[in-house]
Structure 1
Amino acid sequence: MNSKEQDESSVIRNQPGDIGKLHKEQVALYWDFENIHAAVLEEKYGEGVYRKVFNDLQEPVVNIAAIVRYASNLGNISVNRAYANWERFGSYRFSLLEHSIDLIQLFPAGGKGKNGADIRLAIDVMQDMQTYKHIKIVVIVSGDSDYISLVQRCKQCGREVFGVGVQRASSQYLMKSCSKFKFYHTLLDDARYLLVNAIYNLLANEEKACMLKARLHPAITRLYPTFDVGNYGFSSFVEFLNECRDLLSISQGDNDQMISLSEQGFKLLQEEKTGVNSLMPN
């Protein structure tokens, strides 16, 4: 290679757009999938629900894309591995495949249905820490206190550990052990707030109590032109609305459903925005 070719090669290898990629931290993402699924399910339907449907094909309630998006914001995901008895989680198939998650099948041992995910996950994490020295950030998707010792060991090995779990189902001691702990619902709250704020503004401006469902998507994109549900892990606006049903009061109109804010929707708005206390339903 002559000097001119060497200079050109050097320029190509050092394009400014590549610098960030070269220096991003490497992330290992581990899912105790049954733990996060059960926690989200009971957050949605109430405590004790998971035990009642334990042997059934499970409803896909976990927003996998939102968690992957959070982890990818920390760096490049080098390891993405989930542990569960996948016989009951077939409804997640396409989302798991879409995000290239390595699935570890764990059949339950004994009659109590315990699949031993915590033990297998911990063993794999420690092996990966020894094998993949370039991994600097570990993300554990679980709120189980059984992972406290694993978190401490990872930090002793010089890794940062980020946890993701449902607030009411996560151990406070695990949260304190992690470098940072992210509550699952906060991964979606930004989009949820934009939705309720758009509804509130439109209804307030028009002095109406409810709006046609068909007007909702144009209303939110008019207020927030860059809004895209794909950025929050949803494949469509309809899927996003289904996730936000607790924020909405829905009734059937003549030709379309009518939308207004539910008490939970006003509560979220009140938490994020001052001066709306008087709007809360009696």
Structure 2
Amino acid sequence: MNATTDVKAPYNTAIFYDVENLIKGYGFSKKIVQGLSLHDILKKIGETGKTGRIATHKAYANWLNPTLSFLHSELIDLDIEPITVVGTNGGTIKNVADIRLAVDVIDTLHTHPEITTYVIISGDGAYASLARKLREYSKVVIGCAYKQSTNKLFASACDHFIWVEDPEVENDKVEVRVSDTRSQHLIEKLNGKDSNSNNLIWQRINELLSAFVDSKEYKKALECGINPSVIREFIGAAIPNFDPSAFGFERFIDFLAHAVENTEMAIYLFPPSDIKIGLKSAKPTNAVSLSKSNIKRFGNDNNADIRDQRIRRMTREIKSISTNASTKEVVEKLKEIIEWIAADPEFRTSLTEGVNPATIDCAIREIVVGFSSSRLGFTRLSELLSWLTWDTELCLVQNQTNKSIWKVIFRSSIPADFAIYESKMLPQGDRAEEKATPLTPWKIEKEPTKEPTSIFRQLSNLFRTKH
């Protein structure tokens, strides 16, 4: 089967499958076995009309692994060449498939100049550099992967990107709980209404924002100004897998500027870089009103902007992973991110005065694709950051006058009107299990433990660092 049914089309297309990325590691679930279809992926590629007939068709994985037998018939039907990549003792070594795929792409680039279109089926950010190199040779690059586990750098480096349905999240209702009782009350109230499946997603967002501003508790907070992350958490809890990029916005703040345009809410900049959400009828003194027409000129420092050059550098130095990785891998990656931020010269300068927690959140989401605090049992970002920094030189602080103002800062530089926020989930020496708030269970390692261990103890042991 070819990517196009046009028999007159030239053989100008090469397709490379990173199967290890598609199955999310060899410990994949039954949903992957039942829902992953190479036929469907190839059909979506052909429907773009951007490919010719297939000259090279390769799939990379440890095909000696018997768990991949469910894909063997499709390899034969589609005439896909299986490229077996294994470790030193027949096992799997991380990145071997990525490297072999990249080597074969470059080899094809130089040995088959007639191939003009390259399709890379993966969401791994490591392929961003490969895509850029192909474009330098005037080749068309098409990416294809699951939306929730695709690195944004790789997606932006491609000329075209094809989203395929993730078998593990399709039609699944993801329930997200928030610790702010005001948000949870509103969400439960709205969810209790009869919903029309034909309603556009924007209608749902407008409903959420209207309920937010009409809430007595939030309306009082809006008079003083609240952090944009509060609204992001509220929308994310009500709309599972919410992503502003799905609406064409790189940043949440750009999305919000568009969303609040016809509401009572407004976005205010407090120079030099503090952004708050308030009411149009109560503009704070010395604040600059931001709208969708001028928002791009502001908010580029501490407001979850991936164009932040510090985060750009970090994404080049730290390899991204999917939130579907094991708990241990996710925790180790979070540890690596915090250590990098604390050591980076430019970040250190900002951390002396304090960095908006949304910037740290943005850095985490760029490296751990699809991550949310609930992945580790935390109900909100403040709990996660308090836990991540508890034994580092950094800490999360809260303004004691206006409790909506938060900063991540060096412990040696805490301003007089700020206090360290200590989550109840922090360990308390040998009594950690007694004082820790129970976390929501999730599936981690399958091997049995010798004695009962709380989820909190598992996390604290994984993240404990040496200073």
Normalization by structure 2: what TM-score? 0.33
Match of 1:61 among 30, 35, 48: 35
Gaps of 5+ in 2: 1-5, 174-194, 205-467
1:155 matched to 2:135? The reply is yes
Residue 82 of structure 1 is matched in structure 2 by 59
- How far apart in 2 are the matches of 1:55 and 1:181? 25
* CA apart distance, 1:115: 5.5
Hey, which of these two has a bigger chunk of helix by percent?
Answer: 1
> Which residue of structure 2 lines up, in the alignment, with residue 100 of structure 1?
79
Identify if the C-alpha distance between structure 1 residues 55 and 172 changes in structure 2 by more than 3 Å, giving closer, same or farther: closer
RMSD: 3.7
CA distance in 1, matches of 2:196, 2:139: 38
Measured after TM superposition, the shift of residue 104 of structure 1 is 0.2
Q: 1:143 touches 1:169 (CA, 8 Å); kept in 2?
A: yes
Could you state the TM-score of these two structures normalised by the residue count of structure 1? 0.52
Asked if residue 30 in structure 1 is aligned to residue 4 in structure 2, the reply is no
Question: Does structure 2 conserve the Cα–Cα contact (< 8 Å) formed by 1:106 and 1:115?
Answer: no
Q: State the alpha-carbon separation in 1 of the partners of residues 130 and 139 from structure 2.
A: 11
Q: Which has the higher contact order (CA 8 A, sep 6+)?
A: 1
**Cα separation, 1, equivalents of 2:97 and 2:9:** 32
SS of the residue corresponding to residue 58 of structure 2 reads strand
Of residues 103, 107, 114 in structure 2, which corresponds to 1:127? Answer: 107
Would you say 1:175 and 2:161 are equivalent positions? no
Distance 1:161 1:94, change over 3 A: same
**Contact 2:86–2:92 at 8 Å: present in 1 too?**
no
Aligned equivalents of 1:80, 1:130: Cα separation in 2? 17
How many Å apart are 1:23 and its aligned residue?
4.4
**Structure 1 residue matching 2:117: 3-state secondary structure:** strand
1:56-85 Cα distance to aligned partner (Å, 9 max, x none)? 9x7253121111123334221111100001
Deviation at 1:132, TM superposition (A): 1.3
Paired with 1:269 and 1:63, the residues of 2 have a C-alpha distance of 28
- Whole-Å separation in 2 of the counterparts to 1:168 and 1:244: 11
- Structure 1, unmatched stretches of 5+, are 1-19, 39-49, 189-242, 248-265, 276-282
CA deviation map 1:88-145 (0-9, x unaligned): 3111111121111100001134877425011100110011111111111100000001
Verify the 8 A CA contact 2:102 2:130 in the aligned structure 1.
Answer: yes
